[in-house]
Amino acid sequence: MSAPKAPHKAATPPQAINVAVVGHTNVGKTSLMRTLTRQRGFGAVSIRPATTRHVEMAELSVPGSLPVRLYDTPGLEDSSGLLAYLDDLRTRTGFDWIDAIDRFVAEATDDHHPFAQEAKSLAQVRRSDAALYVVDVRDPVRARHRDELEILGRCAVPVLPVLNFIADPDAQIDHWREQLARVNMHALVAFDTVVYDAAGEAALYDKIAALADRFAAPLARLRDDLAARRAQVRRASAVEVAEMLVDAAGAQAGYALDQRQAQSDAEADLKARVRQREAQCVERLLDLHGFGADDVRLSDFAISHGRWDQDIFDPQTLAQYGVSASKAAATGAGVGVAIDVLAGGMTLGGAAATGAALGFLYDTARTYGGRLQARLRREVRLRVDDATLQGLAARQMQLLAALLKRGHGAIAPAATETLAPGEATVRQLGRQARRARSTPDWSALNRPGGATSGRRRSELVAALADTVEAGLDAAGA
């Protein structure tokens, strides 16, 4: 028992950076693993003690560098008991701390050992290059925390406290900072595993790098890679929202003027297509962010089974976003729908003065068959009105902002206020999307085979996506 095993200090170059995640039971160690690995399904999480009883490794690949291995460990449940046990062991054997810990770890492999669970955690800490010590800052610092810190401090491995549950109203961050400073722990990270914060995650890796500085380069790479991934997902999400807005803005439905009853059919058809497109956008956003439609309960956004509970064509929905529904009655169309062009009495040549209109009529004819083709001359076109466009923009922005703030450790609906997009952003999105109206060809909702994708459409989508991203910046997401 003279030479403590320390594999990472061996002569062979390190194969990975090993980071153990330790802490009391039920402080969110497994949740932290989930958020850091972006795996909703990692391990098992519950409010009960000793949910995790094994050590599970997750390897994060770092492009062109050493991988970072995170280890989820069982909780340190009885640290006071363990500390007494180790004290006892030291007085019996005369070992110094590190030898006593290594002896304990070697002895306590038997499942019947009273501290077998703690031994697993400590063994992993001893095998690691750094340890993340997770605490629940809703609790005050207690004797057991001091005991845990005492033991971890004797393991000859740098320890970085991770303050979890910082988004909770009961969080006592300053108290924890002060108490940790008293035991000489000045580096710490505040990182909520449920309310994700990209900057907090970057700080986490930076601080590990500061504690284990020979791994600074690969850790910085990991941090940059994660930032790049996030930027990519953010842009892709913004493009997704932009595409939906272009599709919705361009969506049209037509009916023959002399068929009064056709109006309600056309309206229903238009609304159904727009609703479906919105649901598709929700599904794709969830997919992009690694959340499923059904296993994430987004009840704070009133989404169930991948759809918003409230209909976008319900005036009250719009009112929620500060958008007032248009005076639909005056136009003769239903709520959320505007009559675009009244082509009755106009000749086909007049109505088709623009190629766009011709394209639309052609498509409509193709979609609805000969029935309409015969009546092309007396066509009324319906489209989604401005208020609805703004409502669509606001809702997707809100969902997106929430998804960007959602850690993969989250299982319950986020308790935080969801970030509502700024009014100016929503209005600008509505304004920009309107440009897609005169070109029904651009909307996938009018062309069953998919929208045409010319340069001007791409430019509009990019401009809308820019606005979405700027809006997210403004909302701090």
Partner 1 sequence: MTLTRDRLVAETLAADRDVADPAAGAGREALAAARRHQDVDAKVCAFFAALPQALAARAALRRQIALLRWTVLGGLVLAALAGALAAGRAISGGEREVVNVIWLLGGLLGLHLVALVIWLAVLVAGGDGVARQGLGRGVVWLWRRLAGTVAGDPLNRSARLALMARLFGPPAGRWTVSTGSHGLWTAFLAGGLVSVLLVLATQHLVFVWETTILSAEHYTALIGALAAGPAALGFPVPDAAAVAAAEWRGGAQAARMVADAQGEGAWAGLVVGSLIVYGLAPRLLVGLLTGWLARRAVRRTKLDLTKPAFARLIPDLAPVMQSARVVDASPARLPPAVAASVPAPAPAPPHTPATGSDRRRGLRRAKANAPVAVTGGLPGGHHVAPPAGPVAVLGWEVRTPRTGWPPVVTPGQPPAGGAQDLGIVDGRRALTAAVALIANAPPARLVVVADMTATPDRGTVAGLATLAGAGAGETLVCLTRESVARARLSDEDARQRLADWVAAAHDAGLPLSAVVLLDLDAPGAEDADRAARLFGV
Of residues 314 through 353, those in contact with ligand GDP by CB under 6 A are none
Closest Cα partner for 179 from 140, 209, 128, 217? 140
Q: Are 246 and 442 in contact, with CB atoms under 8 Å apart?
A: yes
At 127 the three-state DSSP class reads coil
Among 26, 79, 237, 432, the residue binding ligand GDP under the rule CB under 6 A is 26
**Shorter beta-carbon distance to partner 1: residue 323 or 410:** 410
Scan residues 11-40 and list those touching Mg ion (CB under 5 A).
29-30
Scan residues 404-433 and list those touching ligand GDP (CB under 6 A).
409, 411
Scan residues 44-63 and list those touching Mg ion (CB under 5 A).
51-52
- Run of H or E including 348: helix 348-351
- What does the DSSP 8-state code read for residue 385? -
Scan residues 450-469 and list those touching partner 1 (CB under 8 A).
450, 453, 455, 458
At 133, which amino acid appears?
Y
Name the minimum Å distance from CB 411 to Mg ion: 13
Binding flag, residue 440, ligand GDP (CB under 6 A): no
- Which range of residues in 44-52, 235-243, 291-299, 464-472 is near ligand GDP by CB under 6 A? 44-52
Instruction: Give the span between the Cα atoms of 413 and 298, in whole angstroms.
Output: 6
**Shorter beta-carbon distance to ligand GDP: residue 171 or 219:** 171
**Shorter beta-carbon distance to partner 1: residue 43 or 334:** 43
At 373, which amino acid appears?
Q
Name the minimum Å distance from CB 339 to partner 1: 31
Which residues have CB under 8 Å from 139's CB, separation 6+? Answer: 145
Mask: binding to partner 1, 48-87, rule CB under 8 A, as x and -? Answer: xxx--xxxxxxxxx-x---x---x---x-xxxxx-xx---
Instruction: Give the span between the Cα atoms of 462 and 440, in whole angstroms.
Output: 18
Name the minimum Å distance from CB 403 to partner 1: 13
Instruction: Give the span between the Cα atoms of 155 and 167, in whole angstroms.
Output: 31
Mask: binding to partner 1, 424-443, rule CB under 8 A, as x and -? Answer: --------------------
Count of residues interacting with partner 1 (CB under 8 A): 71
The DSSP secondary structure of 289-331, one letter per residue, reads TT--TTTS-BGGGTEETTEESS-TTSHHHHHHTT-PPP-HHHH
Name the minimum Å distance from CB 261 to partner 1: 34
Mask: binding to partner 1, 113-152, rule CB under 8 A, as x and -? Answer: -xxxx--x--xx-------------xxx-xxx-xx-----
Instruction: Give the span between the Cα atoms of 214 and 288, in whole angstroms.
Output: 35
Name the minimum Å distance from CB 76 to Mg ion: 12
What are the structure tokens assigned to 49, written together?
């003690």
- Which range of residues in 19-27, 86-94, 104-112, 454-462 is near ligand GDP by CB under 6 A? 19-27
Neighbours of 452 (CB within 10 A): 14
**Shorter beta-carbon distance to ligand GDP: residue 55 or 216:** 55
In the numeric block, the tokens 């499942």 are attached to: 111
Mask: binding to partner 1, 201-240, rule CB under 8 A, as x and -? Answer: -------------------------x--x--xx-xxx-xx
Beta-bridged to residue 254, according to DSSP, are 381
Angle between helices 216-250 and 198-211 (to 10 degrees): 170
At 37 the three-state DSSP class reads helix
Among 11, 47, 199, 329, the residue binding partner 1 under the rule CB under 8 A is 47
**Shorter beta-carbon distance to partner 1: residue 39 or 438:** 39
Closest Cα partner for 23 from 187, 142, 186? 142
Separation of CA 39 from chain center: 11
The DSSP secondary structure of 218-234, one letter per residue, reads HHHHHHHHHHHHHHHHH
What is the contact surface with Mg ion in residues (CB under 5 A)?
Answer: 29-30, 51-52
Residues contributing to the site for ligand GDP (CB under 6 A): 23, 25-31, 45-47, 51-52, 75, 164-165, 168, 192-194, 409, 411
